[in-house]
Amino acid sequence: MVHLKEQLDRIMAGDFKTISRCISLIENEAGAYEHLLKALPNISTANIIGITGPPGAGKSTLVDSIIGSFVAENEMVAVICVDPSSPFSLGALLGDRIRMSEWYTHPGVFIRSLASRGSHGGLNPKIIEITDLLKAGPFKYIIVETVGVGQSEIEIAGLADTTMVVLVPEAGDEVQTMKAGLMEIADIFVVNKSDRPDADLFERNLRLMLSPAIARVHHEIPIVKTVASSKTGIDELMTEIKKSLKVENNDEKKMWLLTEKAFQLIQQKKMKEIDKGELQKKISTLVKDGNFNLYAFIENI
């Protein structure tokens, strides 16, 4: 049996096996995972980079290129890929992450796929705890790539120091229907696959749409054009990421991030006693008895 102090020492030393095991404990709420979380040191200098955007935008290929840039600088990187869940097993459907396969055995890169497990915001319900665990490791950068569920991914802004929204030139209609909130969470916009027709027109339209958000944050939100498959534009993107981390990593944003995390964790604790399977049984019984009113039922719960 590994003692808590030994576990923490291994995490801080970058023992990938221990980190993987501890992530599984947190995901499954197994063992003494809460004791481990309470013992995590509060001395991390890791930067969390959130990457979100619609399916097919090339987020995984982009992450692959970003990893390569950090590795070239001899920086250690952790990557969390949040994938759609199977509705039956709640396991990640895209867990293989073929595009990042060259990094799986690299000693400076830790990659883990997580299932969203039905979370509406596109993130795993334990993502806050898992990123805090990784922050205790020797990683300089932690990349969180979220499932592309469209408008409801705004919670990534409550987790990441810098948030990138990845789009493609054909996403014109999608951008039009995006909630203002999603447009406003981005610290950087990436127009990927920008070798396609109408990329310049799309960029101009995006800048026009961003005008209200820019007025609110008092600085221009960079738009970087990339072709991740050929590494085009990656150097410019890396410059913007580092610039954004310096600008955004201020005390006011840190307090906001901590408040968002606290709020989400309190929500989870409050909901912990509610079992969806038990709810279904009770509802089934009441429906059969002809006695079911949704709002009265919720009030009783």
Q: What is the pLDDT of residues 136-164, one digit of tens each?
A: 999 999 999 886 554 445 567 678 889 89
Q: Would you say residue 215 has pLDDT above 70?
A: no
At 84, phi and psi to the nearest 5?
-60, 145
Mean pLDDT of the 217-246 span: 90
Q: Would you say residue 26 has pLDDT above 70?
A: yes
pLDDT band for position 43 (cuts 50, 70, 90): confident
Report whether 207 contacts 231 (CB < 8 A): no
Q: Would you say residue 125 has pLDDT above 80?
A: no
pLDDT band for position 104 (cuts 50, 70, 90): confident
| pTM for this entry | 0.80
Higher pLDDT: 226 or 102? It is: 226
Going across the sheet that includes 47-52, the strands are 109-115, 77-83, 141-145, 47-52, 162-167, 188-191, 223-225
For residue 132 the two structure tokens come to 């805090």
Q: Which helix (H) or strand (E) holds 48?
A: strand 47-52
Q: Would you say residue 34 has pLDDT above 80?
A: yes
40-249 topology per CATH: Rossmann fold (3.40.50)
- Where along the chain do its domains lie? 40-249
19-33, 36-50, 108-122 — which is least confidently predicted? 108-122
Residue found by looking up tokens 């334990």 in the block: 126
pLDDT band for position 109 (cuts 50, 70, 90): very high
pLDDT band for position 192 (cuts 50, 70, 90): very high
Q: Can you tell me the distance from the alpha carbon of 76 to that of 106, in angstroms, rounded to the nearest whole number?
A: 10
pLDDT of residue 127: 85
For residue 77 the two structure tokens come to 């990187």
pLDDT of residue 231: 93
31-45, 119-133, 200-214, 276-290 — which is least confidently predicted? 119-133
Task: Report the 10 Å Cβ neighbour count for 174.
Answer: 15
